[in-house]
Amino acid sequence: MAILKTILKNKFSLKYHGIGDWATAIYVGALLENTEAIIQYYNSINYVITSEDEFKDYLTLETIIKYQEIIENLKSESDKIKLQNLIENLTDCFKRYKNPLNQIYELINSQYLQLLDMKEDYYNKYEFIDIVLSYIFNQHDRINNDVFTFILLEIAFSTLNMSVSKSPISLFVNIVSPVEVSIGVSLFNESLVKQINKGVQPVSNIQSIESSLYFTSTKIILLSILKSK
């Protein structure tokens, strides 16, 4: 189980909000309350990213290190020393990951259905999926075609038939125009669109699309939609 649940008790964000943000003040408090436990935890892990929890551990570690910039803003000298010690220890731990990006993209390609699953309600859910999608689009050439197919199907499913709340991927791709989505939908064959309109879960249709031209077009469409916002 990831450190967010076991030690930080879901009182810490996967994203660093910066100096001056009220959330930063809250989260730094959680770090100061658990410095020894956090250091002990990160010195005991295997430094691999082969599961969702291990991915979250990596992201949490990466985020904690960013708190370096707020140390001078802390009022208490003892808190400054405590946070500095924490970050120095965790920086050493962070360096122990070998080729983390390779591991992350292997995980996304093999477990994207789980990583992008919004059914389970947990703290940091929206931030985590937003981070996963950022990885997908930042280095899209490392992502398998079925991942993009899944995302496009989720967008189409939401736009054609369902409310946005039932297809949350569209929240993160930030679709605002049905016209843009219709470009992607036009690539579907008629029978697939009919299935989506009838409420068939989009995941079940992933393997039915095999055209390499379709996959290439899907990536281009998704990237153009994202970059236009």
Q: Which long-range contacts (CB under 8 A, 24 or more apart) does 31-38 make?
A: 31/64, 31/67, 31/83, 31/86, 32/79, 32/82, 32/83, 34/7, 34/8, 35/82, 35/83, 35/85, 35/86, 37/7, 38/3, 38/7, 38/8, 38/64, 38/86, 38/90
Regions in the chain scoring below 50 on pLDDT: 159-160, 162-168, 171-172, 174-196, 198-214, 227-229
pLDDT at 116: 86
pLDDT at 125: 84
161 and 83 within one domain: no
Domain contains 13: yes
Unique residue bearing structure tokens 């947990």 = 122
Same domain, 150 and 66: no
Residue 58 in any domain: the answer is yes
Residues 75 and 159 occupy one common structural domain: no
Based on the fold, state whether residues 17 and 95 are members of the same structural domain: yes
Residues 9 and 84 in one domain: yes
11 and 77 in a single domain? The answer is: yes
Residue 229 is predicted with a pLDDT of 45
| Distance from C-alpha of 19 to C-alpha of 113, rounded to nearest angstrom | 35
d(CA 116, CA 128): 9
CA 126, 132, 137 angle in degrees (round to 5)? 125
Residues 8, 80: one domain?
A: yes
Which pLDDT score is estimated for 97? 98
What is the pLDDT at residue 225? 54
Same domain, 78 and 162: no
In which domain, by residue range, is 47 found? Answer: 3-102
pTM of the full structure: 0.74
For the chain, the domain total comes to 2
Structure tokens at 53: 């929890």
Q: Do 9 and 96 fall within a single domain?
A: yes
In a domain, 94, yes or no: yes
Tokens describing residue 61:
């570690």
Q: How many CB atoms sit inside 10 A of residue 90's CB?
A: 24
pLDDT at 219: 57
Residue 33 lies in a domain: yes
> Is 116 inside any structural domain?
no
What average pLDDT does the chain have?
Answer: 77
- Please state at what angle helix 35-42 crosses helix 52-65, rounded to 10 degrees: 130
